[in-house]
Chains A and B, each alone.
Chain A
Amino acid sequence: MALALQQLINGLTLGAVYGLIAIGYTMVYGIIGMINFAHGDIYMVSAFIAVTVFTILATFGVSSVPLALLLVLIVAVLFTSVYGWAVERIAYRPLRGATRLAPLISAIGMSIFLQNMVQLTQGARVKPIPPVLVGGIDLLTVDGFTVRLAYTQILIVLVTVALMSGFTYLITKTSFGRQQRSCEQDRTMTALLGINVDRTISLTFMLGAALAAVAGVMVTVYYGVVDFYIGFVAGIKAFTAAVLGGIGSLPGAMLGGLLIGLIEAFWAAYLSAEYKDVATFSILILVLMFRPSGLLGRPEVEKV
């Protein structure tokens, strides 16, 4: 019981991170119909930016945790958005109008490029940061097992909830959100109404990257270590989350993220910690086989 509660907390934390990354996959899929396989690496880049900024702040003697976190978040979001923008501009936009396979291959190329770039410039070894936010609340103790809610977990969940609410508002209620959705439905018609579709696509990439950046900072604070390969695993898991929720659906990405996080946490606790990644990938295969449109997605075929 206590273990289940602990895993529920851990799973929700993990799920929040997957959800933030999954939004980037699902939004890009919605607007240009491609899977941005470099998205996981964008998230990895943001984690490295976080490590760098934390290190710089430490040398300047910034000791206030909220201030440091805020600065790291701002810098990571800014730089990572630029990465998101650049990836689209360099690797995908020139291929607009090409076959669906071309940008996909380009995306895999971008992913390899980003991994190698970070490996070369930052080294292949695991990079640690000193603990930023330590401690937590002990909720209860049963038979010597203490259920603990870490401050970082509270932070991750709160930031994610705030971001998701703001993001939902942006997409459903603002002019940019409407343009984003209209591009998803009919790009030519959107351009005919005087909207710069390329700009909307760029902003979508930047927004997805910004959310991934927040996830990257959170994970850096949570685990305290990063390496150049974290983008691959987290990326595939978030991609699975997006597919499980229904690729193209924003609420689906959030829901899928939470479910994947919970499944992974419980699988690790009760079945096998070594094989926890198997759980995620089995889900990916099962969803693709039996419900390719996901939990909240629309079926591809549409009545005209």
Chain B
Amino acid sequence: MMLQLSGVHAHYGSIHALHGVDVAVQVGEVVTLIGANGAGKSTLMMSIFGQPRASAGRIVFDGEDITALPTHEIARRGISLVPEGRRIFPRMTVIENLQMGAVLGEEMNFAVDLKRMYALFPILEERCTQSAGTLSGGEQQMLAIARALMSRPQLLLLDEPSLGLAPLYIKKIFQIVRELNREHGMTILLVEQNAHHALRVAHRAYVLQHGEIILSGTGSELLASPEVRAAYLEAGQKTETAA
């Protein structure tokens, strides 16, 4: 087991956001977490890094209890996050953002990894000396993903990578997720509102509602499940066409 959350509770300010969540991710899997706005998806992702810290329960990564570790130590164990809203460093250049992502990597790998990222996201090479704040939303998302990959993580967490992006970029993002997993064996935990796309790329999936896991199964099981269809897919499809 690569990552295991057992009975995790977390509070976001005064809100009790997670009520005893159990989530497991195995090596080589793409696991998706779907749920409505405010279900606690992002809190769950951030609580893996202790932001906010789990108030009860255990988080185990690669056999080690990381529940109480400082945020930067958790990242050093080999978990990388593409956070909601991207959070690139706007007043640094594209290449500096990538250097920030590579802080944990070996210095000698930097050139190789940079080349790999440029191959994956050619737009970043074009924009490499531009300040990251001037990139479009889609380009910033590419940069956030590339930055997360620069440390060669064992586990990649993606929080709403398609949020607010043009359809072309959404397609590109899911294509990258698939490629990273299928070709490079990257283990991925993906949080998405775009349930349709997310379930199709996932091996397994969880449905989070009001801070609790209410359903889990393989991607195709959940895609076929009438509850999921009613709650997330049809509504999701509608919003997608509306957007």
Contacts and interface: CB of A to CB of B under 8 A. Distances in A.
A196 B72 contact: yes
Interface string A59-90: 00000000000000000000000000000000
B60 interface: no
Given A191-B75, A193-B75, A196-B72, A185 B92 contact: yes
Nearest to B101: A193
B104 interface: yes
A118 to B, nearest CB: 36
B141 to A, nearest CB: 14
Interface string B188-221: 0000000000000000000000000000000000
A104 to B, nearest CB: 24
Interface in A168-196: 175, 178-179, 181-182, 185-186, 188-196
A185 B89 contact: yes
A108 B99 CA distance: 38
A190 B147 CA distance: 12
Contact of A194 (B83, B92, B104): B104
The A interface, classified by DSSP as helix, strand, loop or mixed, is helix
Contacts of B76: 194
A191 B48 CA distance: 13
A17 interface: no
Given A185-B89, A191-B49, A193-B100, 19 more contacts: A178-B96, A178-B99, A178-B100, A179-B103, A181-B92, A182-B89, A185-B91, A185-B92, A186-B89, A188-B87, A189-B83, A191-B71, A191-B72, A192-B75, A193-B75, A193-B103, A193-B104, A196-B72, A197-B72
Contacts of A182: 89, 92, 100
Contacts of B104: 193-194
A195 B103 contact: yes
Interface string A139-150: 000000000000
Contacts of B4: none
B151 A181 contact: no
Interface centre among B51, B87, B96, B100 (most CB of A within 10 A): B100
The B interface, classified by DSSP as helix, strand, loop or mixed, is loop
In the complex, which range does the number of interface residues on chain A fall in? Answer: 10 to 19
A194 B103 CA distance: 7
Contact of A179 (B75, B90, B100): B100
Interface in B98-151: 99-101, 103-104, 147, 151
B44 interface: no
A194 to B, nearest CB: 4
Interface string B1-14: 00000000000000
In the complex, which range does the number of interface residues on chain B fall in? Answer: 20 to 34
A220 to B, nearest CB: 37
Given A179-B103, A182-B100, A188-B51, A193 B151 contact: yes
Contacts of B71: 188, 191-192
A194 B151 contact: yes
B92 A195 contact: no
Contacts of A189: 83, 87, 89
A24 B134 CA distance: 29
Interface centre among B51, B81, B103 (most CB of A within 10 A): B103
Contacts of A195: 72, 100, 103
Contacts of B81: 192
B87 A186 contact: yes
A72 to B, nearest CB: 36
Nearest to B76: A194
Contacts of B90: 185, 302
